[in-house]
């Protein structure tokens, strides 16, 4: 099920960042984390301010945590910035792509879907 947020709202992104072997990565293995948000049905419609917007590594967790639903994550960050809405259109599904870079600068990506209500 997609995450649901209010239109023009924001939300905390929780992610389980792993390497190609499926091993959860440590903060020391990550050089940067970026986010890209676009409309799901129109991926070329990138949300203003969220086209590979750098989040840095401050959201990386040294020790994995678990949310109230039992999801274990090693990254948590609310990327809302500059008063630019993350999900500006009501009734729209958004594709949220989290791109993390290893210490060699190689990118890896994961996706989440958000319904703007």
Residues 102/20, Cβ–Cβ less than 8 Å: no
For 19-43, write each residue's pLDDT tens digit. 888 899 999 999 999 999 999 999 9
Tokens of 110: 């994961």
Mean pLDDT for the chain? 92
With a threshold of 0.75, does the pTM exceed it?
A: yes
For 83-96, write each residue's pLDDT tens digit. 889 999 999 999 99
Residues 61/74, Cβ–Cβ less than 8 Å: yes
Total tally of structural domains belonging to the chain: 1
Q: Tell me the mean pLDDT in the region 10-16.
A: 90
Q: How confident is the model at residue 11 (pLDDT cuts 50, 70, 90)?
A: confident
What pLDDT does residue 6 have?
Answer: 86
28 CB contacts (<8 Å, ≥6 apart)? 103
Q: How confident is the model at residue 7 (pLDDT cuts 50, 70, 90)?
A: confident
What pLDDT does residue 62 have?
Answer: 93
Q: How confident is the model at residue 55 (pLDDT cuts 50, 70, 90)?
A: very high
> Structural domain of residue 13, as residue ranges?
3-116
Taking the mean position of all CA atoms in its chain, how far away is CA 26? 17
Main-chain dihedrals φ then ψ at residue 29, nearest 5 degrees: -90, 0
Sheet containing strand 92-102, strands side by side: 3-5, 107-116, 92-102, 30-39, 42-54
In percent, the amount of the chain with pLDDT more than 70 equals 100
Residue 52 sits in a domain of what CATH number? Answer: 2.60.40.10
Q: Tell me the mean pLDDT in the region 66-86.
A: 91
């Amino acid at each position: 099920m997609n995450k649901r947020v209010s239109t023009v709202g924001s939300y905390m992104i929780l992610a389980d960042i792993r390497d190609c072997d499926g091993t959860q990565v440590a903060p020391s293995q990550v050089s940067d984390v970026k986010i890209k948000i676009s409309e799901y049905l129109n991926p070329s419609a990138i949300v203003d301010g969220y086209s590979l917007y750098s989040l840095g590594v401050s959201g990386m967790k040294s020790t994995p945590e678990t949310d109230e639903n039992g999801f274990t994550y090693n990254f948590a960050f609310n990327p809302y910035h500059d008063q630019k809405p993350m999900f500006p259109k009501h009734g729209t599904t958004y594709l949220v792509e989290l791109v993390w870079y290893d210490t060699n600068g190689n990118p890896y990506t994961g996706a989440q879907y958000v319904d703007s209500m």
